[in-house]
Structure 1
Amino acid sequence: MEKQQLALIIPAAGKGERLGGEVPKPYIKIAGKTVLEHTLSRFREVSGLGEVIVSTSQEYVGLTEDILNNVFPGLKCSVVEGGAERQDSIRNALEQISDKTGLIAVHDAVRPFVKKEEIENCIEEASRSGGAVLAIPARDTIKIARPSLEVEETPDRKKLWQAQTPQIFWAALLREAYQYAKEHKILGSDDSSLVERTGGKVVLVEGSSENFKITHPHDLNVARYLITQGVV
């Protein structure tokens, strides 16, 4: 199968209130580098990567440009201002992607441990199917609850997967999904949910628990340990 040019979008405009600090999560430093830089570095050797777009808040535009130039010298990179919601930030980034791009990957700025082979497996599946999402099987029993917290249902755990990123799609399919969401005022929980709304096919690609998202202080402590000890 012929390789298509890949564009990478990284939404990095979050404020990181759950960590309780003033510095947004992507810009917290671990071992002398920001979390964003650690994350971007995971894509440096990915075959077919043609451009990278990061959406961020206005005060971090300059720093983000410096990070991109350091991680991807010579590659087409750009920084756009983020929006009120993650979805708005990605939409702003989509407007910057060139027409040469065949596939678009969206990856969380604070998932710095995704493996190159996981990214490439996801690319291969997206090339075949139109959409692919890294995910891991649910380990715990999941409960669906009413507003009163009374248990309403216990779904079959064998059917449940925890979605991760990257989430990779044919460029036309993702653009169509975002246009549809804008016209119908839909706010999705992730990019896959928007593509699903338009009838697009999305296939899960099994990832690993190491590809976790830095959300809470405990996650940050684990990330610091893994990076400083060179574990991953």
Structure 2
Amino acid sequence: MVDTLNVIVAAAGSGNRMNKSINKQYLTIRSRPILSYCLEVFEHSPLVNKVLIVVKESEIGFCHKEIVERYGYKKVRKVIAGGAERQDSVWAGLNSLEQSTGLVAVHDGARPFITEQLLTKLVCTAVQWGSAIPGVPVKDTVKLVDEEGFVSRTLDRSRIFFIQTPQVFRLEYLMMAYQKAVEEQFVATDDASIYEKYVGKVKIVPGDYRNIKITTPEDLST
């Protein structure tokens, strides 16, 4: 049904907004590290071939011992060092996959509540369209604000979505897009933005409001 799916888990962020002494992906929810939740889904999904985790260089040994070995994740083939920014880390991950075809999913290690059902929908959509990202409609009114702090206009929220991960693409297309972004020093906040700029349209799949990114201490109580 699908091509080979490899997963890059981006977990090299510093998590400064958590005000914790350890990086947020190693904090626990219900006695398990945040990072372990998404790895559990990837480990048991029949769609996933292998997983690559990108962390800070100083955390490679810790991640391998306390996450990969402790919980027995056989599909995690590598734990590698990331870069200064998320984009640098994903690029490092792409270059470590040792293949150029199939599908690749890029997921934030701080999003523990991904489901296998969402992953399946994304993969099936990416097979058809070459790309698939999860998104949920915004619930609040959204306004564009000028530099002086005044509302310049109200946006049509029916066409505005909060975008999540995992984001799934044809590997060769995302590699090409990232290569061009590196050459042109184009910086984006997610992989889809790079794909949009250098490849083409990105298909939205209905996401899950529970699939939040753990960013602040308040998120741990959700």
TM class by smaller structure = over 0.9
Distance 2:210 2:12 in 1: 23
The answer for the alignment partner of 2:55 in structure 1 is: 56
The answer for the alignment partner of 1:93 in structure 2 is: 93
The answer for the alignment partner of 1:107 in structure 2 is: 107
- TM-score normalised by L of structure 1: 0.90
| Runs of 4 or more consecutive aligned structure 1 residues displaced over 4 Å after TM superposition | 70-73
Whether contact under 8 Å (1:130, 1:201) holds in the other structure is no
The answer for the alignment partner of 1:191 in structure 2 is: 191
Whether contact under 8 Å (1:131, 1:200) holds in the other structure is no
The answer for the alignment partner of 1:154 in structure 2 is: 154
**C-alpha displacement at 1:114, in angstroms?**
1.1
The answer for the alignment partner of 1:13 in structure 2 is: 12
Distance 1:112 1:191 in 2: 19
Whether contact under 8 Å (1:110, 1:213) holds in the other structure is yes
Identical columns (%): 33
**C-alpha displacement at 1:5, in angstroms?**
0.9
**C-alpha displacement at 1:49, in angstroms?**
1.1
Distance 1:55 1:85 in 2: 11
**C-alpha displacement at 1:174, in angstroms?**
0.6
- Which residue identity is paired with 1:81? A
**C-alpha displacement at 1:72, in angstroms?**
5.4
Q: Are residues 91 and 139 of structure 1, via their aligned partners in 2, closer, same or farther at CA, if it must alter by over 3 Å?
A: same
**C-alpha displacement at 1:71, in angstroms?**
4.5
**Does 2:37 align with 1:38?**
yes
Aligned length, in residue pairs: 221
The answer for the alignment partner of 2:180 in structure 1 is: 180
Distance 1:147 1:3 in 2: 47
Q: Are residues 150 and 138 of structure 1, via their aligned partners in 2, closer, same or farther at CA, if it must alter by over 3 Å?
A: same
**C-alpha displacement at 1:101, in angstroms?**
4.6
**C-alpha displacement at 1:68, in angstroms?**
2.5
Distance 1:100 1:173 in 2: 9
**C-alpha displacement at 1:28, in angstroms?**
1.0
The answer for the alignment partner of 2:216 in structure 1 is: 216
Q: For the aligned residues, what is the CA RMSD?
A: 1.5
- Which residue identity is paired with 1:134? P
- Which residue identity is paired with 2:13? G
Q: Deviations over 1:183-232 (max 9, x none)?
A: 1111011100000001323110001111111111110122xxxxxxxxxx
**C-alpha displacement at 1:75, in angstroms?**
2.8
**Does 2:166 align with 1:140?**
no
- Which residue identity is paired with 2:34? V
Q: Deviations over 1:47-70 (max 9, x none)?
A: 231111111112210122232245
- Which residue identity is paired with 1:140? D
3-state DSSP of counterpart to 2:123? helix
- Which residue identity is paired with 2:128? R
The answer for the alignment partner of 2:131 in structure 1 is: 131
Whether contact under 8 Å (2:39, 2:73) holds in the other structure is no
Whether contact under 8 Å (1:8, 1:52) holds in the other structure is yes
Q: Are residues 8 and 163 of structure 1, via their aligned partners in 2, closer, same or farther at CA, if it must alter by over 3 Å?
A: same
Whether contact under 8 Å (1:173, 1:200) holds in the other structure is no
3-state DSSP of counterpart to 2:43? coil
Distance 1:68 1:131 in 2: 28
- TM-score normalised by L of structure 2: 0.94
* Runs of 5+ consecutive residues of structure 1 not aligned to the other structure: 223-232
Whether contact under 8 Å (1:40, 1:71) holds in the other structure is no
Distance 1:72 1:176 in 2: 33
The answer for the alignment partner of 1:80 in structure 2 is: 80
Q: Deviations over 1:75-109 (max 9, x none)?
A: 35101111110000111111111326500001111
